[in-house]
Each structure stands twice: as C-alpha cells, then as structure tokens.
Structure 1
C-alpha cells in the first residue's frame, strides 16, 4: 500500500471541524467543494467524483439515509466519507454511496492534510450512531480508506474482494508485444480488418453524452439477448443514473463516451471513466453480429489505450472481473480488499457472516468458471 504522508506542520485542534450531513439538499449544495476535493485526492477513483455520487443518489438514494461526513481545516474541506445507512444480512451498517454500481470504494482525502484529516475522520465515523460497522467492499491498494483502517481503534476485518485487471499505458503495439508472436500476428491482422472495414470511433461531447449512454445501453441489451445479463443494467434507474453521471463527467474530463460507426451506422458504444491514474473500461454495448465481423474487445482496447496515453494516465483498468476476454491481454491482476470497520459488539458477527458469504460466492464463481 502506498502511504500518504502529511506535508504540513501540525495544525491546532481548534482549526479542525467535522460535519455530518443527512439531508440530500446538502449534497447538492456541496458540489463545488466536493469537486475541488476530488481534484486534490490523488488516490480517489471516478467512483468518488461528485457527478457519479450525486446522480446515483438522485435515482437510488432513500430519504434520511445519507451520511456525508466532512472534515475541514481552517474552513477548507480536506476529507469526505460519502456514506449511507443500510442493512446487510440483517445488520445495520454504513456503506459507500453508489457502492453497488461502483468498482472501487474509498474516501476523499487531501494528502497535504492527511494526518489530521484521517484522525478527525476516524473519530467522526466512530461517533456516528445507529450502525454496528462500516462496510467497504471494494478498496483498492493505496486507497485513503486504508489509512482510516490503520488508525481504527476497534475491530477491523479485511478479506479479499474482486480482482481487477490492468494494462500499462502505451499503444496497442505495446500490448501485442506482451503476447506470443503468433497470437500477436493474428491480432494485428484483426486490427487491419477493422481499419479496412472503415469502422470509426468518435468521442461524443458532453451535450450528447446522455443520448449516447441511452444508445449504448440499448446495444448492451441487444448484445446480451438470450444470455444472462445483469438485471440492473436493464432498469430505468440505472439508465438515468448513468446518463446523468456521464454528462457531468464528460464535461469535467472524467469520462468519455465513445461511439463506433460502420458506414454511418452505430454499431457499438463504450463508456470509459477517466481517473487520476487510470482509464477504466466501465460498460460497452455492440450489435450482436459485429462480433462475427471484428474483434470488438480489441477495437475498444486500442481506443482506451489511446485515451490513457493522450490524458497522461498510467494505464487502462479493465475493472472488476477476470473474464477470459480480458485475460488474453496478459494484464496485471490487482485485488481489492473488503474492509469492515467495527463500531459495536455485533460487528464481529457481521464480519464473520460477510467472510463466509464471500468465501461461498468465490467458490461458486470458480466452479462456474471451471464449467465454462
């Protein structure tokens, strides 16, 4: 884990303050400050951007459950924990906003104020009543949440979570150079086939992002027709959340919505989230017969690598999941952690049940992969 070291002398305790907001109107009013804090939080991912969280709360949030914990130093916002009250396995817990639709869980933290901010954030989370634990399911290495966990004075449980696959920044030739010579040759032939067919890629402007996301989800549903699909991807609330979030994130340079056309016809769409360090391939859709003509994953990976290179990011994250179509690129595997921060005695029982459920789910996943 990469530690975030403080870069300022100690600040008098009187200059620190903590707020806990439970009213969704406060979330709307804090937009500029949360955007600014995100820009100063190098460990944060696109799933902690204000646009992602605000859009999610607007379509999924439940009145009275918001728990937005803020830490200020001399009035400046330096840390934030966007959480909500929930229940898991019958236990009252705090969970990250948008957690079910996000690949990474974390807090926002300005590293310049890290030591004091983590101390005050930890204290505020300990003081928040009504939950037995804080359950962070998908914490990647180097996250600010690890610093809170290291300071947590009560029970802390860590269990392995999802595997995320990453490729270093570079061109598609760099990726193909990682493959056996014969395989790389076949991939280059597939790229020539894409180019000969004249399939073009366009990054849509912010004012067209919502429309492009709706089109992408239509293609996604067609692509999965007749096969098991994540049911949430077919629901109106997910469609509206994603369209709203993408519009703001494209405007702020935090996302790109790509549309692929063949002879003027829309044949594929791809939503790419742009973080401080990585570009993340979040969701795509394509007409079913496109796979019979070209290698869709190769086509999109080339564009995603170009975005990472043009935005000076470290690489491309294929996000959660180790599906075969991702593994063929020989990416590096990075495992998230589930971190449970206990607040009261029932936390131990909750953590034990969460660990058992996680183990059974992982075993079922391995069995299904083996059958596939």
Structure 2
C-alpha cells in the first residue's frame, strides 16, 4: 500500500525552509489544516521558540509533497523526546496530509516512526477532534496513552450577521448593547482592520494594550516574553500574504481602546488574542470589538468561531460550547516515559 510513497527525515532547517512553497500547497489542499500548521506559523516558531532539533517527516508521491509531520526533538538525560513543532503557542496540532491519501500516508508514517531513532517518547498534544494524528496507528514495539487535553470553546455561527443576536444568550445581548451605549457616550467609535502595510503597527498596539491589561492585574500576560513577541512579528507577513491574518483595533476618539488578533481560514474563524486599555474598562471595549469581529467573520463565510484553549467564562457568555482536544503519548516499550516527559 505504501510502496509508491517515499518518506524522508529532514533535519536541516534550511532545507525545511526551502520546502515552504510545496508546504504551502499541501496546506492549502488539506481540508483539516488550520493556520497553526502553516509555514508562516511553524517556521517563525522554529526561528524564535524551538528548543531542540528538527526531525520532520516529509512524504512525497511522484515528487509531490503529500504529507508532513514536523517534529522537534530533544535529547534528555533519560531518553529522546519528540513533539510536534509549535509548543506551547499552538492551539491545534496535527500532521498535514493530502486529501484522499490519509490511509496510506498514516500507515507509512507509523512504519517510519517505528524505524527512526530520534525518539523514545513522542508527544502529540492538543489534537482537535478531526486531527489526522488521532488515527495514527501505534508503531510496533510501542505503547500509547491518551487523555483529554484542553477545552477549546467554539461558537456555531448563523448565516448572516442579522441573525447573530438571535443565537446569543440574552445576558450577552444586553451586555453588548450596554457596552456599545457606554462606548458611544465616551466618544466616537472606529474599528480599523490591518492590511499588510499596517499589520506591524497594529500588532504593537496589541502588545501595549495586552501589557496594560495584565500589568493592571499584577500579571505578565502571554506576550511578556520578548521571544514570543518576535515569533508573532515574524509570522505576520506570511499570515497576511495568505489572507489568514485578522487584526483589528477599536479606537474611541482616536485612542486605542481594544485590539484583536486572530485568523480566518475557509469557513473557520480563530480568536487568538485580545487586549484592552483598563482606562476604558467601564465601556467593555473588548466586548464591543469581539462582537464586531464575530459579525465580520460571518460576512466572510465563517460557520464557526473558535475561542481556542481555555475555559474562561467570557467565552461561554457568548454561547460557545466545549470542543475537547486530545493528548496522545507514544513510548517505546521498556522506556520509562514518565521520567522523560516530566522534564518537559
């Protein structure tokens, strides 16, 4: 079954970068791909946040890239540990596989993973319900354990923005009206959408607002790390070029009040990060902006809005329901996986 296919291990990062055009083509073909599997996201992650060696399984058929399993591997005191690139900033992990070739490619990946020597323990974390990696067969000589991972609340969207109030909980409808009224009393409202020329400036506004929000609570926030900030900056051009990036800034009387950073792909919207100025807390600018973004997502054809990882109460306030990721850990028989994974 797997004879027509070839699978090689890429360890040279420059070779991986050179694969980007074929990688993009495979990503575009894959019906389950998210922005988190794109070259823009993962190559930027590699350049800024990786802490190991590249061990990428690339599957070709007749010189065409049809499968990609991008692992990052580390040698630890008790063994070799591998996990998919993107940790911990990626909400949905998976392999990339060309449509209608899932079965033979998954079989080949399982067979190849049996033979390679870059892992004793392999972690497949944050796999969404439609992930290819959920169906990866256990390589011979290995065991697997599975568990629930993060909850990622998802809001099912109506066909038109006019129908949006009808699916929102009554309390959220009232809160949205109140936030709009308060914000309009505070000043003139304007929502700006970033394009390629303004994306960097708008991202800096997001960073500042996010910092203000979390420092007011005495906490650092997820953008406190300069390497994480640079990872996102480096990803912006590729995300924008692929029309994945959605950056919005809400201004009240020309002052930045709230910012939104997310993605749109096919009929799925992904809300990754927000920030707001605590000086406008009474006006709830994040509520105003998120309502605007969700409506815009519907106009673009989104069927679902992904709030991504975490069970923050505000997500359920919009009517979102949990979608559970899965965590799979493979380990070679005879290897103490606990000793290796706890070093992560």
* Offset of residue 192 of structure 1: 4.0
1:184 corresponds to which residue? Answer: 173
1:207 corresponds to which residue? Answer: 197
In the alignment, is residue 42 of structure 1 matched against residue 62 of structure 2?
no
Q: State how far apart, in whole Å, the 2-side matches of 1:297 and 1:87 are.
A: 43
In the alignment, is residue 168 of structure 1 matched against residue 123 of structure 2?
no
- State whether residues 55 and 245 of structure 1, in contact with CA within 8 Å, keep that contact through their aligned partners in structure 2: yes
* Offset of residue 143 of structure 1: 0.6
Q: Deviations over 1:11-38 (max 9, x none)?
A: x71x311111111101210110111111
Q: State how far apart, in whole Å, the 2-side matches of 1:134 and 1:261 are.
A: 46
Is the alpha carbon distance of 1:40 and 1:347 closer, same or farther for their aligned partners in structure 2, counting shifts above 3 Å? farther
Q: What are the equivalent positions in structure 2 for 1:283-322 lying under 5 Å apart?
A: 283-292=273-282, 294-322=283-311
2:251 corresponds to which residue? Answer: 261
* Offset of residue 224 of structure 1: 0.8
Q: What are the equivalent positions in structure 2 for 1:1-80 lying under 5 Å apart?
A: 13=3, 15-62=4-51, 65-80=53-68
2:147 corresponds to which residue? Answer: 159
Q: What are the equivalent positions in structure 2 for 1:103-122 lying under 5 Å apart?
A: 103-122=91-110
Q: 1:327 aligns with which of 279, 297, 316?
A: 316
Secondary structure of 2:234 counterpart? helix
* Offset of residue 91 of structure 1: 4.8
In the alignment, is residue 216 of structure 1 matched against residue 230 of structure 2?
no
In the alignment, is residue 85 of structure 1 matched against residue 67 of structure 2?
no
Q: State how far apart, in whole Å, the 1-side matches of 2:318 and 2:173 are.
A: 10
Is the alpha carbon distance of 1:288 and 1:144 closer, same or farther for their aligned partners in structure 2, counting shifts above 3 Å? same
* Offset of residue 115 of structure 1: 1.6
CA RMSD of aligned residues (A): 2.6
Is the alpha carbon distance of 1:175 and 1:339 closer, same or farther for their aligned partners in structure 2, counting shifts above 3 Å? farther
1:6 corresponds to which residue? Answer: none
Secondary structure of 1:83 counterpart? strand
- Calculate the TM-score normalised by the size of structure 1: 0.83
- Calculate the TM-score normalised by the size of structure 2: 0.90
Is the alpha carbon distance of 1:213 and 1:272 closer, same or farther for their aligned partners in structure 2, counting shifts above 3 Å? same
How many equivalent residue pairs? 341
Q: 2:269 aligns with which of 266, 269, 279?
A: 279
Q: 2:228 aligns with which of 231, 238, 244?
A: 238
Is the alpha carbon distance of 1:88 and 1:229 closer, same or farther for their aligned partners in structure 2, counting shifts above 3 Å? farther
- State whether residues 259 and 286 of structure 2, in contact with CA within 8 Å, keep that contact through their aligned partners in structure 1: no
Secondary structure of 1:319 counterpart? coil
1:336 corresponds to which residue? Answer: 325
1:102 corresponds to which residue? Answer: 90
Q: What are the equivalent positions in structure 2 for 1:340-355 lying under 5 Å apart?
A: 340-346=329-335, 348-349=337-338
Range with bigger deviation, 48-57 or 78-87:
78-87
- State whether residues 214 and 243 of structure 1, in contact with CA within 8 Å, keep that contact through their aligned partners in structure 2: no
Q: Deviations over 1:67-96 (max 9, x none)?
A: 111111111111101110036896521111
Range with bigger deviation, 71-80 or 335-344:
335-344
Is the alpha carbon distance of 1:260 and 1:127 closer, same or farther for their aligned partners in structure 2, counting shifts above 3 Å? same
- State whether residues 206 and 248 of structure 1, in contact with CA within 8 Å, keep that contact through their aligned partners in structure 2: no
Q: State how far apart, in whole Å, the 2-side matches of 1:298 and 1:268 are.
A: 9
- State whether residues 176 and 187 of structure 1, in contact with CA within 8 Å, keep that contact through their aligned partners in structure 2: no
Q: Deviations over 1:47-82 (max 9, x none)?
A: 1111001111111235x6011111111111111011
- State whether residues 57 and 97 of structure 1, in contact with CA within 8 Å, keep that contact through their aligned partners in structure 2: yes
* Offset of residue 100 of structure 1: 0.8
Q: State how far apart, in whole Å, the 2-side matches of 1:81 and 1:284 are.
A: 30
Is the alpha carbon distance of 1:89 and 1:207 closer, same or farther for their aligned partners in structure 2, counting shifts above 3 Å? farther
* Offset of residue 203 of structure 1: 1.2
Q: State how far apart, in whole Å, the 2-side matches of 1:205 and 1:311 are.
A: 16
Q: Deviations over 1:130-151 (max 9, x none)?
A: 3212101211101111121x45
